[in-house]
Amino acid sequence: MRSYKYFEEHKTLMFTPEDVSRDIISQLNINKQDIVLEPFKGEGSFYNQLPPCNKFYCEKDENINFFDWQDKVDWIVSNPPFKILVDDKPTNGLIPIIEHSMTIASKGFGYLVNHRLFNALTVRRLRLWKDQGFCISYIKVYEIKKWFGRYFFILFEKDKMGILDF
């Protein structure tokens, strides 16, 4: 069994601007009965913007580890860490995060990622995830002035038509 932990880099954390998290949440079709998980809460940019629903969060500083979360949810939305430790080795965080999200999300999940994480979305992985019922249904590019480069909000939805051809 693999071990997943948070990778502690000695860098300043950069939290998602509220206007960006608000715009991202507007792309989700959340209703009042939905259960929504924010797996990397930080200062709560996404969590605090969620509409009235059954909302929960994970946060490493509160010792609530996303990889330990097993309860089913409808939606997951966050700005995930770039790296995590997999079996004590620093690894691109997006792939294990997506794979765990697929085990607990019934409607979909969306993550704001940088270009390095985006490049991890290989054709082989996209096919594997499609076979499990999840396709990318929406992508939006953000220029966030206080961060370096472009950021991509990628929405995966279960049993929906994907927007990518591969």
- How much is the pLDDT for 150? 83
In tens, the pLDDT along 27-60 reads 899 999 999 999 999 999 999 999 999 999 999 8
pLDDT < 70 positions in the chain: 1-14
Q: Which two tokens stand for residue 42?
A: 């930080």
In DSSP notation, the chain reads ---EEE---SS---PPPHHHHHHHHTTS---TT-EEEESS-TT-TTGGGPPSSEEEE-BGGGTB-GGG--S-EEEEEE---SEEEETTEEEESHHHHHHHHHHHEEEEEEEEEEHHHHTT--HHHHHHHHHTTEEEEEEEEEE-TTSSSEEEEEEEEETS--S---
- How much is the pLDDT for 146? 72
- How much is the pLDDT for 69? 97
In angstroms, the first-to-last Cα distance of the chain is 31
- How much is the pLDDT for 118? 76
- How much is the pLDDT for 103? 97
- d(Cα 37, Cα 124) in Å, to the nearest integer? 27
- Give the orientation angle of helix 94-104 with respect to helix 123-131, to 10 degrees: 10
- How much is the pLDDT for 35? 98
In tens, the pLDDT along 111-120 reads 999 877 778 8
